[in-house]
Structure 1
Amino acid sequence: MKETIGTDELLARFAKIYTGAISDSLDQLGYKNQVLPKELKGLTPDANLYGTALTVRGEATHSEDPEVVFVPMLKILGDVKKNDVVITQPHDDTCSHLGELSAAAIKARGGAGAVIYGGVRDVDNIHKLGLPVFHLYTTPADILGRWCLKEYKVPIRIKNVAIYPVDIVAGEIFRNKQAISLVVKCPGTSRRLDRCRDAPGRPAASTLLRSCSYRCCLY
Structure 2
Amino acid sequence: MVTTESDTLTRLRALSTSGVSDALDKLGIPGQALGIAPLDRSFRLAGRAWTLRYGPVGQDRGTVGDYIDDLGPDDVVVLDNQSRVDATVWGDLLTTVAHRREVAGTVIDGVCRDVDRSLELGYPVFSRGNWMRTGKDRVRVEATGVPVSIGGIRVEPGDLLLGDGDGIVVVPAARAEEVLAAAEEIERAEQAIRDAVEAGSSLREARVAHRYHDLQHGAGS
What is the TM-score normalised by the length of structure 2?
A: 0.74
Q: Alpha carbon RMSD of aligned pairs, Å?
A: 2.8
Match for residue 69 of structure 1?
63
Q: How does 1:137-216 map to 2 (within 5 A)?
A: 137-173=129-165, 179-185=166-172, 186-187=174-175, 199-201=186-188
Match for residue 115 of structure 1?
107
State which structure, 1 or 2, has the greater radius of gyration over its C-alpha atoms. 2
- CA deviation vs aligned residue, 1:170-192 (integer Å, no higher than 9, x gap): 1011xxxxx332222352766x9
Residue 163 of structure 1 deviates from its aligned partner by: 0.4
CA change 1:195–1:83 in 2 (3 A) is: closer
- CA deviation vs aligned residue, 1:67-118 (integer Å, no higher than 9, x gap): x225xx11x2122122111111112332111001011122222211101111
What is the TM-score normalised by the length of structure 1?
A: 0.75
The one-letter code matched in structure 2 to 1:6 is E
Q: Which has the higher helix share?
A: 2
Residue 3 of structure 1 deviates from its aligned partner by: 2.9
CA change 1:166–1:139 in 2 (3 A) is: same
Residue 26 of structure 1 deviates from its aligned partner by: 2.2
- CA deviation vs aligned residue, 1:141-189 (integer Å, no higher than 9, x gap): 112221112111111123541101111111011xxxxx33222235276
CA distance in 2 between counterparts of 1:193 and 1:114 reads: 22
Match for residue 80 of structure 2?
89
Residue 52 of structure 1 deviates from its aligned partner by: 0.9
Which segments of 5 or more consecutive residues in structure 1 lack a partner in the other structure?
174-178, 205-219
The one-letter code matched in structure 1 to 2:102 is G
Count of paired positions? 189
